[in-house]
């Protein structure tokens, strides 16, 4: 099988021929049909974060495909079934986080395309309990971006605790943001979309955003404060500066949910306005299996649109460049 491999951090990926992986107990082997390019894969390949992956590794955690072999003991999936393989590749199921509905915080978790080989490949392994069945009728190329971009923003909005009379700022209308706009609209909120690209702002408008803010031309915080400030802001842009702006755009009692992970990112949280304004800063990491099931349910019901362009895996390095330049539509999906 072919796979796109990170041989050294910061180097272009290399397409390699590898033997088909063999599923161990509790695992399945999947013939990958579609695999999304999440910005996280670029951070992984560049070694942007304090905990670095160890090359060689295969990135990709928006893998969707068909189960083709069951490892020992797998009884709830069957050969021929379509599943999605998210970032949360495995969690212990026993710790306080797993037991309290926060498996995404499990200290023993295994991350697809980071700690173990991921979905930039024709075949991949997954732990059967964490491979999410994709509902019938959902196109695998649409299921792929939902598997990270979808579940992450759906969960971040749950964490933000938004309601139908809230103003929600979505900063960064890329892979994650274009879905965040739609989930916020489904929740009934008024949505302010922030980006630095005309195409992305047009896309946000097309997806239902009520207020468009071009951060190149105006200060998003000033614009948001004209509306009384945001009840919640999702920081989805790979820009440290955009976090501070989103924080400054909150109203009293507002919540900033940090989701993007710019390298070496830090934000100054002013004590006075945080205390007097009762504002919160919250981190949010992907979503649980149940969150992903809900994301698929919404899509199967026709309530979300996934904007993507398909590419062959052989163009992976060009695709990385285009995502960094911000010129892709919303998501690149590799079609295997
Ligand atoms: P993306 O490249 O598709 O989208 C980023 C968007 O931000 C682009 O539309 C870009 O134009 C816009 N942008 C850039 N600078 C901006 C600015 N100053 N203000 C407003 N918008 C700006 O990336 P993505 O795949 O959506 O991922 C975004 C980030 O989220 C990455 O850092 C990724 O690692 C992270 N991520 C986090 C989680 C999590 O669970 N916390 C999950 C997935 C991805
Ligand atoms: Zn656990
Ligand atoms: Zn991701």
pLDDT of 63 reads: 98
Q: How far is the CA of 153 from the centre of ligand 2 (A)?
A: 22
Which residue out of 39, 155, 199 has the highest number of ligand 1 atoms within 8 Å of its CB and is therefore the one to mutate? 39
Domains of the chain: 2-133+306-335 (3.90.180.10), 150-283 (3.40.50.720)
In the chain, DSSP assigns E strands to: 2-5, 14-17, 27-37, 63-70, 82-85, 88-90, 110-111, 123-127, 132-133, 167-171, 190-195, 211-214, 230-235, 250-258, 280-283, 308-311, 331-335
For the entire predicted model, the pTM comes to 0.98
Are the CB atoms for 284 and 258 separated by under 8 Å? yes
What are the pLDDT digits (tens) for 241-282?
A: 999 999 999 999 999 999 999 999 999 999 999 999 999 999
Q: 67: closest CA among 134, 162, 145? A: 134
pLDDT at 41: 98
Which residue owns the Cα nearest ligand 1 atom 39? Answer: 285
Compute CA 208 distance to the chain's CA centroid, rounded to the nearest angstrom. 20
* Å from CA of 259 to ligand 2 middle: 21
**Dist. CA 292–CA 178, nearest whole Å:** 17
Q: Whose atoms come closest to the Cα of 90: which ligand?
A: 2
Ligand nearest to the CA of 110: 2
Collapse the DSSP code of 42 into the 3-class scheme (helix H, G, I; strand E, B; otherwise coil) and give the result: helix
Distance CA(61)–CA(86), nearest Å, equals 5
Q: Which ligand is nearest to the CA of 261?
A: 1
**pLDDT given for residue 58 in this prediction:** 98
Ligand 1 centre distance from Cα of residue 40 (Å):
9
Residues in the chain predicted with pLDDT less than 70, given as ranges, are none
């Amino acid at each position: 099988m072919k796979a796109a491999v990170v041989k050294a951090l910061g180097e272009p990926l290399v397409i390699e021929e590898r033997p088909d992986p063999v599923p161990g107990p509790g695992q399945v082997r999947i013939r990958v049909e579609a695999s999304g390019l999440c910005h996280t894969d670029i951070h992984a390949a560049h070694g942007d974060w304090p905990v670095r992956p160890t090359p060689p590794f295969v990135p990709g955690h928006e893998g969707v495909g068909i189960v083709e072999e069951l490892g020992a003991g797998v009884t709830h999936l069957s050969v021929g079934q379509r599943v999605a393989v998210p970032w949360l590749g495995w969690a212990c199921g026993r710790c306080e986080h797993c037991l309290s509905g926060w498996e995404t915080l499990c200290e023993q978790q295994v991350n697809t395309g980071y700690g173990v080989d991921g979905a930039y490949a024709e075949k991949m392994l997954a732990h059967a309990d964490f491979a999410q069945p994709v509902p019938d009728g959902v196109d695998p190329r649409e299921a792929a971006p939902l598997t990270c971009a979808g579940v992450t923003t759906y969960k971040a909005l749950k964490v933000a605790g938004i309601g139908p009379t809230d103003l929600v700022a979505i900063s960064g209308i890329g892979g994650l943001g274009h879905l965040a706009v739609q989930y916020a609209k489904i929740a009934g909120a008024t949505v302010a979309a922030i980006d630095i690209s005309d195409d992305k702002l047009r896309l946000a408008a097309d997806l239902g955003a009520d207020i468009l803010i071009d951060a190149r031309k105006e200060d998003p915080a000033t614009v948001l404060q004209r509306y009384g400030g945001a009840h919640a802001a999702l920081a989805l842009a790979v820009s440290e500066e955009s976090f501070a702006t989103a924080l400054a755009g909150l109203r009293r009692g507002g919540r900033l949910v940090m989701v993007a992970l710019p390298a070496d990112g830090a934000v100054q949280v002013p004590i006075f306005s945080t205390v007097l304004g009762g504002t919160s800063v919250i981190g949010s990491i992907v979503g649980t299996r149940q969150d992903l099931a809900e994301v698929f349910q919404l899509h199967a019901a026709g309530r979300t649109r996934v904007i993507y362009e398909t590419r062959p895996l052989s163009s992976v390095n060009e695709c990385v460049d285009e995502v960094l330049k911000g010129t892709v539509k919303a998501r690149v999906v590799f079609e295997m």
